[in-house]
Structure 1
Amino acid sequence: MTTTAPEFSSPFMDQLRDLLRWRRDVRHFRPDPVPEAVLDELLRTACLAPSVGLSEPWRFVRVDDPARRAAVRADFTRCNAAALADRDGPDALRYARLKLAGLDDAPHHVAVFSHPDPAQGRGLGRATMPQTTTWSTVMAIHTFWLAATAAGVGVGWVSIIDPDRIAAVLEMDPALELVAYLCVGYPAAPASTPELERRGWERRAPERRQWVRR
């Protein structure tokens, strides 16, 4: 067991900021697969994430079966059409031009589920804020994402899907909740700015970088 905390140098901190800057929600992927050893290491790194009560509520699921992938793609198409129908005017045109999923191109699909009340952790820290299990799973997803970026691997989060239908497609335990459906692979064109910003959909808000004081 390590008893002395490591010291992180100024160059390392600069690299950490670069990692955060280059972590993008990737939508365009190369078709070549990521080596299994790299994927396994990303999963091991993701499991270093903090979790409430050390509950580790996440479940990472590789979706390799073509029929299940096709069902996920069909659900995305249905949900995306409904989302487009709710928009009108210029906003609808901008939305229609966005490529909002890498489902067709990404060589790997990963569904991430969370157990809302796992036995592990024995309920510590969840009595008044039970949603902390979901937040813990999001932390694991973010850790996976940062590790992937450091390895040159892209990740895209597909959220325009029906979580209950996807859980049924994957035949998961009904006690688990779908938190994320991720496309994983080597990015076709790495970028240090969000695609939505490059396409004029939204901009970062500088005021978010300031403390709110009470």
Structure 2
Amino acid sequence: MMTEPDPRPAFSDDFRAQLDRLFVWRRDVRHFRTDPVDPAVLDGLLATACLAPSVGLSEPWRFMRVDSPARRAAVRAEFARCNADALAARTEEDAARYATLKLAGLDRAPHHVAVFCDADPAQGRGLGRLTMPQTTVWSAVMAVHTFWLAATAAGLGVGWVSILDPQQIARIVDADPRWTFLAYLCVGYAQDPSDSPELERRGWERRDPARRAWIVR
């Protein structure tokens, strides 16, 4: 009896080693060069992001390129307002350290991408969402991570700006009111590529070796 050939690709030891390096080099970039990315490359990365898994094959992610200078300026102003509030809420000593963590991505990154989630899409017909409806949001975050890894593999940096008011950003980019804002991504070539987190290099925080998988017996 003939057996069917295994359709799965064979990933070599070298490939797996390179994949481990990709995970290490995927960093949250805060400082960018201003030279633009080839449009075909950026479009390809967004297409790759859509290969992410999603609950019920609902594909709830919604990526919006923000190219308008006026919209970008409005996002930058919203960040400044939220950042000032965040700074004011900290102790004097903590605020001094916080103020040194400059985020220049909004000013220098050549490309901005706002990411939303359609939390209750018709696609997927509700499969897997009855008891855990938040799985659509988690699926969209998986797409963000897929985009991030693909960008890193292409030699690009990505920075996730989270100090923003979701409702204001949705208004600025004129998003569908049914969508939930998740992330504002700065995309481009990193000014100073590194395989370690900038927050760790600057002494803000360090990795906890105890943060590993827990085993339940």
Shorter-normalised TM range: over 0.9
Deviation string, structure 1 residues 33-68 (Cα, Å, up to 9, x no partner): 000010011011101100000000011100000110
Aligned residue type for 2:35 = D
Aligned-partner Cα distance in 2 for 1:209–1:11: 25
Q: Are 1:15 and 2:27 matched, yes or no?
A: no
Aligned-partner Cα distance in 2 for 1:55–1:38: 25
Query: Corresponding residue for 2:212?
Result: 209
Shift of 1:89: 2.8
Deviation string, structure 1 residues 168-197 (Cα, Å, up to 9, x no partner): 011111100111000000101110000000
Query: Corresponding residue for 2:127?
Result: 124
Deviation string, structure 1 residues 80-131 (Cα, Å, up to 9, x no partner): 0000000013211110110135100000000011000000000000000000
Deviates more, 1:91-100 or 1:115-124: 91-100
Aligned residue type for 2:181 = L
Q: Are 1:89 and 2:92 matched, yes or no?
A: yes
Aligned residue type for 1:193 = S
Query: Corresponding residue for 1:47?
Result: 50
Q: How does the TM-score come out when normalised to structure 2?
A: 0.96
Counterparts in 2 of 1:91 and 1:153: CA distance versus 1, 3 Å:
same
Q: Are 1:105 and 2:108 matched, yes or no?
A: yes
Q: Are 1:134 and 2:137 matched, yes or no?
A: yes
Do 1:113 and 1:176's aligned partners in 2 also have CA atoms closer than 8 Å?
A: yes
Deviates more, 1:81-90 or 1:155-164: 81-90
Aligned residue type for 1:67 = A
Do 1:63 and 1:110's aligned partners in 2 also have CA atoms closer than 8 Å?
A: yes
Q: Are 1:155 and 2:158 matched, yes or no?
A: yes
CA RMSD of aligned residues (A): 1.2
Name segments (4+ residues, structure 1) moved above 4 Å: none
Aligned residue type for 2:141 = V
Aligned length: 213
What is the percentage of aligned positions where both structures have the same residue?
71
Query: Corresponding residue for 2:29?
Result: 26
Query: Corresponding residue for 1:37?
Result: 40
Do 1:19 and 1:146's aligned partners in 2 also have CA atoms closer than 8 Å?
A: yes
Counterparts in 2 of 1:132 and 1:210: CA distance versus 1, 3 Å:
closer
Do 2:32 and 2:104's aligned partners in 1 also have CA atoms closer than 8 Å?
A: no
Q: Which has the larger radius of gyration?
A: 2
Deviates more, 1:84-93 or 1:141-150: 84-93
